[in-house]
Amino acid sequence: MNKKLIFLIVAVLILFFLPLIYKASFFIHVLILIFMFAMASQAWDLVGGYTGQISFGNAIFFGIGAYTSTLLYMHWSVTPWIGMLVGGVVAVIVALIVGYPAFKLKGHYFLLATIGIGEIIRTLFLNWPAVGGAQGIFIPFEKESFWNFQFHSSKLPYYYIILTLFILTFLVSYFVEKSKLGFYFKAIREDEDAAKAMGIHTQKFKFVAFAISAFLTAITGTFYAQYLMYIDPNSVMPFMLSTQIVLVAILGGMGYLFGPLLGSLVLIPLSELTRVLLGSSGSGFHLVIYGLLIMLISMYKPAGLAGWIQEWNFNKKKAAGGEVDGTTINS
C-alpha cells in the first residue's frame, strides 16, 4: 500500500517537472491532450466501464461545457472558471433529460440512442445562429491571467490546469470505486436484474453515474475551449470525439482505475505523431495505424492495457511462488 502511494507521489512529481525540463511546445501540447483525453475518458468510464452503459454521445457534454462557459463569457463576461461549473450543472441537467428515455434501452440499443442524441444536439448547434451556428465562436483575447483563463506566452499554465483537473477526476473515480456507488455500478453492469433483486434502484444509480460523468466531461470541454480559444459544433461535439473518448478507455482497460490514463498515454501520442509524420501525405495513413492498433487490442487483449498489466503481475507473482490471490484474474 505504502509502495503504491510512493509510486504515485513520484509519478505526480515527474509529471509536474517534466515540461520544465523538456520545453518543446509540441511536447507540452501532446501532454495537454493526453491528460485532457484521460480526463474525459475517466469520466466516461464511470458510465461505460463501471456501470456498463456504453455511451457514444459523451461529446455532447464536452460541447455543452465548452459552449456554456464561452457564451457566459461573451455575453456577461463571466470568468470561465465559474462558466466551467455552470457548464457542469447544465450537462448534468441534459444528462438527466437524455438519460430518461435512453436508460429504458439496453446494450446496443442504448449505444445507438446515444449516437442519435449526440448527432441531434450537434446539428441543433450547427443551425442555431445565437450560439454561432456553423461558424463557431472566437473567444476574444484578453489580458493573460488565471482569472481570465487565458495564457498566451506559454502553454505551461494550461498543462498544470489540466493535470490538476485530471488528478481530481482520478480521485473522484477512486472514491467512487471504493464506495457503495462503485459496487452498485459494477453490479448493474454485470446483471441488471440480479442487481434489482439485491435492492439496487438500478435506474437511479445509472442516472447518478451518468450525471457524474456528464459533469466532469463538461469541465474538460470548458478547458478545451479556453485552450483553443475557438469552438464550433464540429470541433467540440463531433461523433469522432465521442468515439475517441470511448477508444481511449477500451484500449486502456474499461473499469480499471488506471485504464483511461494508460490508454491516453499510448493513443494520443500515437495519434498526434502519426498525424504530424504521416498526415501531410494526405492519404490518411495515420488513421490506418490507429485503426490497426485498436483491432489488435480488441482481438488479443480485450481487457485493455490495465487488464494486461494485472495479468502480467499475476503471472510474475505465481512464477515467484508467492501467495496469489490471482483467482481474481480474467482468464
Partner 1 sequence: MAPLLTVENVTKEFSGIVANKDVNFEINEGEIVSLIGPNGAGKTTMFSMIAGALSPSSGSIVFNGEEISKKQAFEICHLGIARTFQVVRVLKQMTVLENVIVGALSRTNSVKIARGEAENILKVTGLYLKKDYLGKNLTLADMKRLEVAKALATKPKLLLLDEVMAGLTPVETNEAVELLREIHGMGITLFIVEHVMEAIMPVSDRIIVLDAGKKIAEGSPEEVVNDERVIKAYLGDRYHARS
- What the block records as the C-alpha cell of 110 is 442504448
CB-based contact 45:260 (threshold 8 Å): yes
Q: Indicate the burial class of 74 (C-beta count within 10 angstroms; 0-12, 13-18, 19 or more).
A: middle
Nearer to partner 1, 28 or 254 (CB): 254
Nearer to partner 1, 198 or 240 (CB): 198
CB-based contact 298:250 (threshold 8 Å): yes
Instruction: By CB under 8 A, name the binding residues for partner 1.
Output: 178-180, 183-184, 186-187, 189-191, 193-202, 255, 325, 327-331
Which amino acid appears at position 143 of this protein? K
User: What is the Cβ-side half-sphere exposure of residue 218, based on CA atoms within 13 angstroms?
Assistant: 29
> Minimal distance in Å, beta carbon 182 to partner 1?
8
CB-based contact 222:214 (threshold 8 Å): no
Nearer to partner 1, 88 or 255 (CB): 255
> Minimal distance in Å, beta carbon 197 to partner 1?
5
> Minimal distance in Å, beta carbon 179 to partner 1?
6
3-class state of residue 154 by DSSP: coil
Nearer to partner 1, 99 or 255 (CB): 255
Nearer to partner 1, 54 or 218 (CB): 54
Cβ-Cβ contacts under 8 Å for 16 (sequence gap 6 or more): 160, 163
- What the block records as the C-alpha cell of 261 is 490514463
230 phi and psi angles, rounded to 5 deg: -150, 135
> Minimal distance in Å, beta carbon 180 to partner 1?
5
- What the block records as the C-alpha cell of 156 is 505551461
Nearer to partner 1, 206 or 286 (CB): 206
Residue 199: how many other CB atoms lie within 10 Å: 7
Nearer to partner 1, 144 or 191 (CB): 191
Residue 193: how many other CB atoms lie within 10 Å: 8
Residue 4 belongs to what H/E stretch?
A: helix 2-21
